[in-house]
Structure 1
Amino acid sequence: MLINADFLQRAALAFEDYRWIDSPQNGVERVMLDRVGAEKARATSIVRYAPDSYFPHHLHPGGEEILVLSGTFSADDTDYPAGWYLRNPPTSGHRPYSREGAVIFVKLWQMSTAEDQPVAINTQDLANWQQQNSGKVCPLFSDNSEQVSLQKLDANQLLFTSEIVAGAELLVLEGELIEDGQTYQPGSWLRLPVAELSTITAGGNGVTIYLKTGHLAHIKGFDLQGW
């Protein structure tokens, strides 16, 4: 399965265009943002757990990155309410579930094999935020291949200081993001390839986004054999 699989091309999905697709597990649905592969895939998705839904214990050979958007996501007897950011390194495993229901942003099979430590950050904790220029940033992860953070921009503030983007992926969490007259509401997702020309600003009430940079410069193709 190939969805937005050419990473040299721009991709975007507005919240109002979500199309929920059942997963193999009852009570769990997905919006597929990009995907290379079948059930075992390099994938970026919005995943919705109905109350009391779960996946059996399973492994993630390529790692898993999660941002809890709403509700409470749980794994292996630990609860993660909205705002928690998680990284489960390659070869790790868990049994994910939700008692009350949850919506999460998930990236699968996108980590370096050198990454071996789990990450769990509560982005609702103000101590995890730093002042940056006229906005705020919550650093989540950084290595030689990618940088991940949450960004709070003030009203009408530019996201990038240069129109030439070095590759970026964004998920709108609160407020509005505006690009070339297009307004993106919370839940909207954008992927901008390396060297994309883009002027992106916060809306009139500011915006909070998930932002990943650096990772697209290393993507050339995928070997799907055995996925």
Structure 2
Amino acid sequence: MTATTYRSHLEQPFKTVGLGVHVSVLRRHGGQDDGMTMVFRMDKGAQAPHHSHPGGEETYLVSGKLRVGSRVLLPGDYLWTEPGEVHDGFAEEDSLFFVVLPGGVQLTEGDHEIRPAIRTK
């Protein structure tokens, strides 16, 4: 028996987790760490609340322009966020990015929802 996971692009439904923020969970790591591998789509102007990751976070920007904390990511950029580092996210353009969360996510106190997208023409 194999533990290989394959998911066709046709079998990756996105769930809206806030206005302008959509996620497709590709794999749950199992165990007690709540780890996940995901793909995010954020509409231009969407903002994710301040949060941290007990096991760190790996982010690879596929398309768009994304601000994570004070860093601005462009397509092809990779970011490793240390465990416990608090940051937010803001889509300066429609963005698609791949994320690995070995220990899941923790929202910062008082920041319990994804903020609405702010559209500009």
Quick one: which amino acid aligns to residue 22 of structure 1? T
Segments of structure 1 that go 5 or more residues without pairing to the other structure are: 1-7, 111-227
User: Structure 2 residue aligned with 1:21, among 15, 37, 40?
Assistant: 15
Q: Deviations over 1:62-100 (max 9, x none)?
A: 100011001111122321111001111111121111021
What amino acid sits opposite 2:5 in the alignment? A
How far does the alpha carbon of each residue in 1:7-54 deviate from its partner, in whole angstroms, 9 at most, with x for none?
x6111112232211112x3211111111157xx830000110011001
Following the alignment from structure 1 to structure 2, what is the Cα–Cα distance between the partners of residues 78 and 101?
Answer: 17
One-letter identity of the residue aligned with 1:43? M
SS at match of 2:35: strand
**Aligned equivalent of 2:46, options 53, 62, 67:** 53
Distance 1:75 1:67 in 2: 11
Note the 1:1-227 alignment, pairs <5 A. Answer: 9-23=3-17, 25-36=18-29, 41-109=34-102
Per the normalisation by structure 2, the TM-score is 0.74
Q: Name the % identity.
A: 27
Root-mean-square deviation (Å): 1.8
Moved over 2 A (4+): none
TM-score normalised over the length of structure 1: 0.41
Query: Equivalent residue for 1:196?
Result: none
For the residues of structure 1 that align with 2:58 and 2:67, how far apart are their CA atoms? 14
Would you say the 8 A contact 2:29–2:37 is kept in 1? no
| Distance (whole Å) between structure 2 residues aligned to residue 95 and residue 28 of structure 1 | 13
Q: Larger relative CO (CA 8 A, sep 6+): 1 or 2?
A: 2
The CA distance in 1 between the partners of 2:66 and 2:34, in whole Å, is: 22
Q: Distance in 2 between matches of 1:69 and 1:10?
A: 24
Q: Distance in 1 between matches of 2:35 and 2:89?
A: 19
- Of structures 1 and 2, the larger Rg is shown by 1
Q: Secondary structure at the match of 1:13?
A: coil
